[in-house]
Amino acid sequence: MRIVELNREARENILSGLLKRDPNNYQKYEATVRQIVDDVRERGDEAVSAYTEKFDGVRITPETIRVTEAEIEEAYGLVDKELVGVMERSAKNIREYHEKQRQYSWFDSRPDGTLLGQKVTPLESAGVYVPGGKAAYPSSVLMNILPAKVAGVPRIVMVTPPEKNGKVHPVTLVAAHLAGATEVYKVGGAQAIAALAFGTGSIPRVHKITGPGNIFVALAKKAVYGHVSIDSIAGPSEIMVIADETANPRFVAADLLSQAEHDELASAILVTTSRELAEQVSAEAEQFVERLSRKEILRKSLDNYGYILVVDTLEDAIETANEIASEHLEIVTKNPFEVMMRVKNAGAIFIGEYSSEPLGDYFAGPNHVLPTNGTAKFFSPLGVDDFIKKSSIIYYSKEALEPIHKDIIAFAESERLTAHANSIRVRFEEEKQ
């Protein structure tokens, strides 16, 4: 990994390079995605079947697109029982964590005849996209479905690309069943996002779409936003590690590579106050790359977006972390909790040398769907809040409105909204007669 003595110019160059990975910069794909979305909106199931055959090599009809109970039972028979147990334990942790995020309606009544409040209502439906085809991502299934389930969403639809045999990967299907998906459909890509957003003959529309995917999925979510809510337009994965001389270089190197292996655009950055640690981590990373299975992806990721940044002080490291606002941030320093309190921008913060990023990906409980591309400055991890909506409650009796009604009239008239003023005035006309 390249080692850089960090100054302001270097930091700006790195930030500029990272921002180029933003899905919003891939305009060359937007026309293709828009065509697919519009086609599905117009032709429904016919278009979905055509694109599934074109891109996945599988013929899916409206009669076979939905996963059956028999297919779920078959999947359980194909998945190792120990793995099912692992997923059950992971699901328990995820569910318990998200249950602590629940919000409840509240009402505040006063003696003067007013009642104000907030009514919390779960969304009526949610759609979850799960990548598939060549690989299975049961962790994404659990992380997207369980918060919706905890929120009380009654209809949770999962879409995922079929395998060449026309079926959903059994591990993915078992995870969906464990998490509580109400429907599963064998469709992926931009066509799946369009189907969820607008509905087809076989796939009813949903109110919100969440879940990761490739650039076509990300741009499709962008294209349908406004017709339906989305979680975010996610970019490539990122990890940053803040470390000092006390860190274990072998652990740090392994953690950086855990994200670099996602794809060639993934970013892995170490910020350290120790030049010695920087050199040790670089050497360890090189050794790991040579023997890990995704060697080519790792190499390209590190060459393009891998950095070891050497800074003068821990304060410089924290400032850099806040500016980059990484999806995953590990803190491996002498006093990691003190550093954590000074971090403002990060999707998920992992504290100490035994809290590596994969712990969060698979098992700890906090959601692994996180803001990327610097959006941790203003976005949060996926959670229960994403699957609820809030309505304001306002009640005033006549006796409560009377003392303030002239104030409201004056406010409305200052904005020249005379109909607003009149709406209040007419309620007290009798008193003036």
Using CA atoms, how far apart are residues 176 and 72, in angstroms rounded to an integer?
Answer: 9
Q: Confirm whether 214 is domain-assigned.
A: yes
- Residue in 177, 262, 328, 368 annotated catalytic: 328
Q: Show which of 194, 209, 230 is a domain's final residue.
A: 230
- Provide the b/e sequence for 376-387 (b: ≥16 CB within 10 Å): beebebbbbbbb
Does 317 share its domain with 349? Answer: yes
Residue 120 burial by CB count (10 A; 0-12/13-18/19+): exposed, middle or buried?
A: middle
Instruction: Give the model's pLDDT for residue 10.
Output: 73
Mark whether 327 is an active-site residue.
yes
Give the phi and the psi of residue 127 in degrees, each rounded to 5: -115, 135
Q: Show which of 208, 230, 252 is a domain's final residue.
A: 230
Q: Confirm whether 209 is domain-assigned.
A: yes
| Among candidate residues 263, 382, 257, 242, the one with its CA nearest the CA of residue 316 | 242
Instruction: Give the model's pLDDT for residue 23.
Output: 60
Does 258 share its domain with 316? Answer: yes
If one counts the domains in the chain, the total is: 3
Does 72 share its domain with 163? Answer: yes
Does 220 share its domain with 80? Answer: yes
Mark whether 96 is an active-site residue.
no
State the CB neighbour count (10 A cutoff) for residue 425: 17
Does 12 share its domain with 54? Answer: no
Using CA atoms, how far apart are residues 63 and 65, in angstroms rounded to an integer?
Answer: 6
Pairing of strands 388-396, 114-122: antiparallel
- Residue in 327, 330, 353, 357 annotated catalytic: 327
Using CA atoms, how far apart are residues 271 and 12, in angstroms rounded to an integer?
Answer: 15
Here the tokens at position 108 are 């505040």
Does 72 share its domain with 216? Answer: yes
Q: Confirm whether 384 is domain-assigned.
A: no
Does 216 share its domain with 246? Answer: no
Does 221 share its domain with 254? Answer: no
Q: Confirm whether 390 is domain-assigned.
A: no
Q: Confirm whether 290 is domain-assigned.
A: yes
Instruction: Give the model's pLDDT for residue 325.
Output: 93
Q: Confirm whether 391 is domain-assigned.
A: no
Q: Show which of 165, 199, 230 is a domain's final residue.
A: 230
Predicted confidence pLDDT, tens digits, the chain (433 residues): 888 887 777 777 777 766 666 666 667 788 999 999 999 999 999 999 999 999 999 999 999 999 999 999 999 999 999 999 999 999 999 999 999 999 999 999 999 899 999 999 999 999 999 998 667 899 999 999 999 999 999 999 999 999 999 999 999 999 999 999 999 999 999 999 999 999 999 999 999 999 988 889 999 999 999 999 999 887 788 999 999 999 999 999 999 999 898 888 889 999 999 999 999 999 999 999 999 989 899 999 898 889 999 999 999 999 999 999 999 999 999 999 999 999 999 999 999 999 999 999 999 999 999 999 889 999 999 999 999 999 999 999 999 999 999 999 999 999 999 999 999 999 998 766 5
| Among candidate residues 236, 224, 228, 233, the one with its CA nearest the CA of residue 268 | 236
Q: Confirm whether 32 is domain-assigned.
A: yes
CATH assignment at residue 240: 3.40.50.1980
301 three-class SS: helix
Give the phi and the psi of residue 239 in degrees, each rounded to 5: -140, 140
Model pTM score:
0.90
Instruction: Give the model's pLDDT for residue 6.
Output: 78
Using CA atoms, how far apart are residues 247 and 109, in angstroms rounded to an integer?
Answer: 55
Neighbouring residues of 354: CB distance < 8 A, sequence distance ≥ 6: none
Does 219 share its domain with 333? Answer: no
**Enclosing domain of residue 406:** 397-432
Does 124 share its domain with 258? Answer: no
Q: Confirm whether 144 is domain-assigned.
A: yes
Does 263 share its domain with 200? Answer: no
Does 11 share its domain with 54? Answer: no
